[in-house]
Amino acid sequence: MKHFAYAKFLAFIPLFLLTTCTIEPPELLKVGVNQWPGYEPIVLARDLGYLPQKQVKLVELPSNTESIALLRTGRLDAAALTLDEALNVINLGTELTIVLVFDFSNGADVLMAKPSLKSLADMRHHRVGVETTGVGALLFHAALSQVKLEDDDVQVVYVPADEQEAAYMRGQVDAVVTFEPIKSRLKQHGAHVLFDSSEVPDLIVDVLAVRTDQLEKQRENIFQLVQGYAKARSYMTQYTKKSMQMMAVRLQTTSHDLKQIYQGLILPSLSENVAYFSGSPSKFERHTHKIYDFMKHQGMLQREMSLSHIQDESFVMRVNL
């Protein structure tokens, strides 16, 4: 009997190996995210255990510039970006689809300058630090338009977000286009705001952009990410104090200051996301065309592009908290 049982076991091994070898491991959705208060709810979702570890991995990066580079090479499947950044990536040949809106900037993105520069017009011939592959370029062009300055009227210095504070402190730039929490730190060093995103409503919007070639392949993982985000936003409403404490640590600020920072942002709820993506054309599509036209006018896009498949509303529609 023992020999018979052993023979049956040996016969089972090839079948077992064949079965285990043919079952492919599930895809892992790799999502780029940097330090920006509007993105923090997605990090909060991870810290609260709302994102299944075997399905979603947040890749924390210094700035959106790194997210864009990794997204284009396929080392990231999705990223938290500004809408203009997403359009730029598409323009460079990597198709993206927007599945969620994180926030609208309402004063959190700023152009800050040293005390001697009193107005936007004073920037002429001065050095302005800009993350030219990021949202900084959009706000920078909007600021120049306000006073009819051209790019050649100022000295544009490329400065990634994680180097902006140091560049200002070393005197490498006279002004810088930045955002929270860097804005608050520069303020402590004497910099003041010349222009902010509240002066250009709806221009800067942060979104979750997914590589279009991953939409079907990772549909369930993307849904888990969107649902986890929605649960974290609900948690923020129910446990505001605890949420602020958790998020402030990663942003290297205080709960009190983080509350102030969020006054410069509009974070749409799940239902507002659904409404934003609904209709034909949806409000999101109309908004996207507005930003696309602005970028084209400013020479920020190299070619004509179709926006017919810019959104996939099915993920926010499916969430049921």
Q: Kindly state whether residue 20 falls inside one of the protein's structural domains.
A: no
Question: Alpha-carbon distance 92 to 295, whole Å?
Answer: 14
Tell me: do 136 and 119 sit in the same domain.
Answer: yes
List the domain range (segments joined by +) for residue 181.
109-199
Asked whether 246 and 44 are in contact (CB, 8 A), the reply is: yes
Q: Kindly state whether residue 22 falls inside one of the protein's structural domains.
A: no
CATH (domain of 226):
3.40.190.10
Question: Alpha-carbon distance 165 to 167, whole Å?
Answer: 6
Tell me: do 211 and 313 sit in the same domain.
Answer: yes
Q: Kindly state whether residue 152 falls inside one of the protein's structural domains.
A: yes
Cα maximum dimension of the chain? 94
Tell me: do 171 and 219 sit in the same domain.
Answer: no
Question: Alpha-carbon distance 148 to 146, whole Å?
Answer: 6
Q: What is the pTM of this model?
A: 0.82
Buried b (16+ CB within 10 A) or exposed e, 18-48: eeeeeeeeeeebbbbbbbbbbbbbbbbbbeb
Location of structure tokens 């309402």? 106
Tell me: do 279 and 237 sit in the same domain.
Answer: yes
Asked whether 63 and 34 are in contact (CB, 8 A), the reply is: yes
Tell me: do 239 and 193 sit in the same domain.
Answer: no
Instruction: Kindly give the confidence (pLDDT) of every residue in the chain, 321 residues in length, as a single tens digit, with 9 standing for 90 and above.
Output: 433 343 444 444 444 444 444 444 458 999 999 989 999 999 999 999 999 999 999 999 998 889 999 999 999 999 999 999 999 999 999 999 999 999 999 998 999 999 999 999 999 999 999 987 667 888 999 999 999 999 899 999 999 888 999 999 999 999 999 987 889 899 999 999 999 999 988 889 999 999 999 999 999 999 999 999 999 999 999 999 999 999 999 888 999 999 998 999 999 999 999 999 999 999 999 999 989 998 898 888 888 998 989 999 999 999 998
Tell me: do 57 and 195 sit in the same domain.
Answer: no
Q: Kindly state whether residue 13 falls inside one of the protein's structural domains.
A: no
Domains held by the chain: number: 2
Tell me: do 138 and 282 sit in the same domain.
Answer: no
